[in-house]
């Protein structure tokens, strides 16, 4: 293998392993993920559609993929869990880290026993199928 080709492959591997920066207007969503997002958006009111149109990809993945998987995962341990909110809050404390279109991680909150508990999460995505592969979390100690 020549040096130029090896350098290109090394660069491509490093880029694939690193969090992806996306220019405004560009999307990292796979065709399957975009189709699932479009299907979910079609069910929204006109006002909600305008709001969702402004969301970055991480927020779309959180709302339309990971939050549902997160609630299911938390309910296995906390049967009274009834709501999960992932990601950025008004104070800017809870942020997302989106790695390409394969993983979303960050902070979230779950409602359990009428109160809210914070947690760290990782949501692994299957871009080819437009589905969540796994959702793991760790509740903060109180």
Query: What does the pLDDT look like over 45-65, one tens digit per residue?
Result: 999 999 999 999 999 999 999
Beta carbons of 127 and 139 less than 8 angstroms apart: no
Beta carbons of 83 and 70 less than 8 angstroms apart: no
Residue 121 has pLDDT above 70, yes or no: yes
Q: Which DSSP category does 142 fall into? A: -
Residue 101 lies in a domain: yes
Nearest alpha carbon to residue 123 among 54, 52, 72: 72
Residue 23 lies in a domain: no
Residue 15 lies in a domain: no
Residue 7 lies in a domain: no
Residue 12 lies in a domain: no
Residue 96 lies in a domain: yes
pTM for the full predicted model: 0.77
Q: Which domain holds residue 40?
A: 28-139
Number of domains in the chain: 1
Residue 72 lies in a domain: yes
Query: What does the pLDDT look like over 70-117, one tens digit per residue?
Result: 999 999 999 999 999 998 666 555 678 899 999 999 999 999 998 999
């Amino acid at each position: 293998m020549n040096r130029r080709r090896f350098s290109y492959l090394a660069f491509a591997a490093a880029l694939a392993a690193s969090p992806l920066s996306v220019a405004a207007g560009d999307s990292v969503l796979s065709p399957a993920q975009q189709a699932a997002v479009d299907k979910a958006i079609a069910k929204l009111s006109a006002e909600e559609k305008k709001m969702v149109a402004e969301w970055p990809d991480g927020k779309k993945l959180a709302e339309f993929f990971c939050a549902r998987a997160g609630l299911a995962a938390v309910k296995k341990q906390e049967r009274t869990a009834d709501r999960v909110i992932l990601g950025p809050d008004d104070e800017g404390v809870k942020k997302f880290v989106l790695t390409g279109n394969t993983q979303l991680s960050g902070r979230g909150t779950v409602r359990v026993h009428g109160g809210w508990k914070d947690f760290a999460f990782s949501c692994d995505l299957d871009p080819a199928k437009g589905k969540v592969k796994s959702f793991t979390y760790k509740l903060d100690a109180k």
